[in-house]
């Protein structure tokens, strides 16, 4: 009888462990298992960006990008100067290229794609670089609420998870409006209650970023006919810490 009880306990423990491995694999945070499930690879949104798209994006924005030493602290890793009116639109390819090809040390995503749909919704996919997300938050504005939110959940990640987001974003007078329709980590869809909380934190982070950058004033950013239309006062020069 004792042997049967011990066997049952061991079997139960193994089942719990196996379930945990499968769940973490499904979330895209268990190396090896996630690869087998394909949940550590971002969704392909069909957007192919080139170096020419990057050059076009930079040319349209009128920004000159300089470099800072790699050991520059996160809080000082982006320096803005000068002023320029930006009234233009960017394609999904140009935005995708800009995120992937701007050589910023604390870029929090890799293998990024963005697709702008004609109905105004936006889809994004990529891989989170969890090692630099806190540094990125510090660089943007160091918001304590957002930092605490990230620290609350970051301990669960043991590898960089893939993500997918579908949302309806816009910005008016320096304030972000965001409706999150779907957010996936690996292949796990975040429940609606958590989406509402996440949306609130993203709005806090973005609004804090806008107010944190002197001289930046966003009149509007809207999604029109598959493009992101910017109407704002931006900067002529941006210096960034490089890897």
Percent of the chain clearing pLDDT 90 (strictly above): 42
What's the confidence (pLDDT) of residue 170?
A: 92
- Is 69's pLDDT higher than 80? yes
The residue whose two tokens read 């966003």 is 218
pLDDT tens column, 76-109: 998 889 998 999 999 999 999 999 999 999 998 9
The model's confidence at residue 142, banded by pLDDT at 50, 70 and 90, is low
pTM equals 0.79
Q: At what angle do helices 133-140 and 144-154 cross, to 10 degrees?
A: 180
pLDDT at 168: 93
State the CB neighbour count (10 A cutoff) for residue 196: 10
Helices marked H in the chain — which ranges?
Answer: 2-27, 33-37, 51-61, 92-101, 133-140, 144-154, 192-212
Return the pLDDT at 4.
47
Express each pLDDT in 148-173 by its tens digit. Answer: 877 777 777 777 888 899 999 999 99
In tens, the pLDDT along 174-219 reads 999 989 999 988 777 888 888 888 888 888 888 888 887 888 899 9
Q: Residue 113's closest CA among 129, 132, 131, 93?
A: 93
Give a three-class secondary structure readout of 64-124.
EEEEECCCCCHHHCEEEECCEEEEEEECHHHHHHHHHHCCCCCCCEEEEEEEECCCCCEEE
Average pLDDT in the chain:
81
Per-domain residue ranges of the chain: 2-37, 51-241
- Number of other residues whose CB lies within 10 A of the CB of residue 167: 17
Alpha-carbon gap, residue 211 to 141, rounded angstroms: 9
């Amino acid at each position: 009888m004792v042997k049967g009880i011990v066997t049952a306990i061991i079997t139960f423990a193994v089942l719990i462990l196996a379930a945990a491995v499968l769940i973490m694999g499904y979330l895209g945070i268990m190396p090896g298992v996630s690869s087998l499930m394909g949940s550590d690879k971002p969704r392909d949104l069909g957007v192919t960006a080139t170096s020419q798209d990057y050059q076009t994006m930079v040319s349209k924005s009128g920004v000159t990008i300089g470099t800072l030493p790699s050991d520059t602290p996160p809080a000082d890793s982006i320096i803005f100067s000068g002023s320029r009116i930006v009234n233009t639109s960017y394609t999904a390819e140009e935005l995708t290229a800009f995120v992937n090809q701007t050589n910023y040390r604390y870029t929090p995503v890799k293998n990024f794609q963005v697709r702008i749909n004609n109905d105004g919704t936006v889809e994004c996919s990529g891989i989170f670089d969890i090692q630099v997300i806190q540094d990125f938050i510090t660089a943007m504005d160091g918001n304590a609420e957002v930092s605490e939110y990230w620290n609350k959940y970051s301990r669960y990640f043991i590898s960089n998870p893939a993500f997918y987001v579908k949302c309806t974003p816009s910005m008016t007078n320096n304030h972000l409006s965001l409706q999150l329709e779907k957010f996936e980590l690996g292949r796990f869809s975040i429940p609606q209650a958590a989406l509402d909380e996440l949306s609130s934190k993203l709005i806090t982070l973005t609004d804090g970023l806008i107010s944190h950058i002197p001289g930046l004033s966003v009149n509007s950013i809207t999604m029109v006919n598959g493009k992101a239309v910017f109407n704002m006062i931006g900067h002529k020069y941006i210096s960034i810490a490089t890897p």
